Amino acid sequence: MRLVEKIIEDVKKKQDAAVRFYTKKFDKINLDGFSVTKKEIKRAYDLVDEETIKALRFVKRNIELFAKRQMQQFKDFEVKKDGIVLGQKVIPIERIGVYIPGGNYPLPSTALMCIVTARISGVKEIIACSPKIKPETIVAADIAGADKIFRVGGAQAIAAMAYGTETIPKVDKIVGPGNIYVTAAKKAVYGDCGIDFLAGPSEIMIIADESADYRLVAIDLLAQLEHDVNSKAFLLTNSKKLIKKVKNEIDKQLKGLSTNLIIKKSIKNLVITLVKNIEDSIDIANKKSPEHLELQLRDPEKYTDKLKNYGSLFIGKFSAVVFGDYCSGTNHVLPTGGSAKYAGGLSVKDFVKLQTYQKINLKGAKKLGPTASKLSRIEGLSAHNKSVEMRLINNYIN
C-alpha cells in the first residue's frame, strides 16, 4: 500500500509524466503516447486472424444477450398514494474505466466482459487501460465498444483513471480485475472514484460424488491453478476412490500442460477433502463462498437451492468453468476470498444508479407532517421540525 500510495500521489501531481515514469520502471517500456490510435486499431485487426475475430464477436453476442435480460430487471417506476408520488429512475454512470490485465496472459475476454456489459447498461463513455496490450485485446476492446483505449497498466493506470491526466480522462468508476498492486490501488482510490470490488487470487471449488468423471474433475482443478501461483482449488467429495483417481490424473495431465511451471507452484493451494456426505459439502461451500463452484454430482439440481454463496455456479459435468470464463454469456469478473457472501459478479447493476425522487402536494404534506414533526423533535433537529411546520401553517400555504 505504501508503494501504491506513492504512485497515486505522483500521478495526481505529475499526471502523464508520472504514468510514463512508472510504466518505464515496472513494464520496461518507453511510452511516447498512451493512446491506441485508430490506425493502430486497424492494424491490430490485420494482425489477428479471422477465426479469433469471429470468436470475439460470438462472445460479444452472448454477453449482450445475458446483460440485456439483466437490464430488464431494473426499471423506472412510480408509486402514488395520498398526494405523494415516489419514484425510481435507472440512470447509467456517465464514464467508466475498465482495467484489462496484461500480465502472464493477454485477456481479451475481460475486455468483452466489462465493456459490453457497460455498453448495454447505457454508459455514455467507456475507456480501457491495459499494459503491454496485445492486438487481440485491442480488437476485443474495439468490438466491445470502448471509446478510448490506453496502453498503460498497474497502479499508475488506476490512479490516472481515478484522477485524470492530460491524456487519460477521469472516470466515475473503475471495474476489472488485476494483480495485487492494481487491487491495492483500487482500494486506495475508492471514495474519490467508485470501484466494482477488490478481487483476490482466482479460485474454484468442486463438489463431486462417486458418479463424477475423475478426468474432468482433475482438468478443471488444473485449469484454475494455471491462472496464477496464488490461485486456489478445492475438491470436496464423499468418495475415497474418486480422490485417488483425481490425484493420479492430476499427475498424469500436468505433464502435458504448457503452464505446468505455474501449476507446480500453485498446486500447494489445492485442498482435497473427504466428507461424510454431500450435505456437509454444501455447508462448507456456503461458508467458504468460492468464486467458481462446480457441481459434478449424480443429481446436482437437488442441491442448487441449498447453495447461497458463490461467484458463479456451474451445474453438471458439462458446465465447465472455462465456458463461463470465455463465452457462455455470464460475467467472469467475480467476487473472491469469501466476498460472495455479500456480493455477486460484475453485472449491469455495477453500471447504473437506482435514484429515487418524490413529488408531494399539500394533501401529502398534511399526511406526512405529523410523523416527520414528531421524529424531528425526538432527534432534536429543530430546523428539520421547522421545515415541516412552515409547510403546514395556513398563512404560509395560502
Edge-to-edge strand ranges of the sheet holding 352-360 = 77-81, 84-92, 352-360
Q: Active site residue: 249, 291, 294, 332, which one?
A: 291
Query: Residue 109 — very low, low, confident or very high, per pLDDT cuts 50/70/90?
Result: very high
**Residue 397 scores a pLDDT above 60:** no
**Residue 136 scores a pLDDT above 70:** yes
Cα(395)–Cα(375) distance, rounded to whole angstroms? 24
**Residue 34 scores a pLDDT above 60:** yes
Q: What is the pLDDT of residues 203-256, one digit of tens each?
A: 999 999 999 999 999 999 999 999 989 999 999 999 999 999 999 999 999 999
Report, as an integer, the average pLDDT of 160-179. 97
**Residue 396 scores a pLDDT above 70:** no
Report, as an integer, the average pLDDT of 29-57. 96
Return the closest-CA partner of residue 52 out of 93, 112, 6: 112
CB contact at 8 A, 178 and 99:
yes
Please name the fold of domain 203-333. Rossmann fold (3.40.50)
79 phi/psi in degrees, rounded to 5: -120, 125
Query: Residue 103 — very low, low, confident or very high, per pLDDT cuts 50/70/90?
Result: low
Query: Residue 387 — very low, low, confident or very high, per pLDDT cuts 50/70/90?
Result: very high
Amino acid in position 254: L
Active site residue 227: no
**Distance (Å) of CA 99 to CA 110, 186, 216:** 9, 10, 32
282 phi/psi in degrees, rounded to 5: -60, -45
Helices (H), the chain: 2-14, 16-27, 38-47, 50-71, 108-120, 135-144, 154-163, 180-189, 214-225, 240-254, 260-266, 278-288, 301-304, 321-326, 362-378, 382-392, 394-397
Q: What is the rounded radius of gyration, in angstroms, for the C-alpha atoms of the chain?
A: 25
Residue 32: the pLDDT is 86
Residues above pLDDT 90, as percent of the chain = 95
Report, as an integer, the average pLDDT of 181-195. 97
Q: What is the pLDDT of residues 19-31, one digit of tens each?
A: 999 999 998 999 9
Q: Active site residue: 203, 292, 294, 332, which one?
A: 292
Active site residue 291: yes
The interaxial angle of helices 38-47 and 135-144, nearest 10 deg, is 110
Task: Let me know how long the chain is.
Answer: 398
Please name the fold of domain 2-197. Rossmann fold (3.40.50)
Cα(52)–Cα(334) distance, rounded to whole angstroms? 25
Query: Residue 199 — very low, low, confident or very high, per pLDDT cuts 50/70/90?
Result: confident
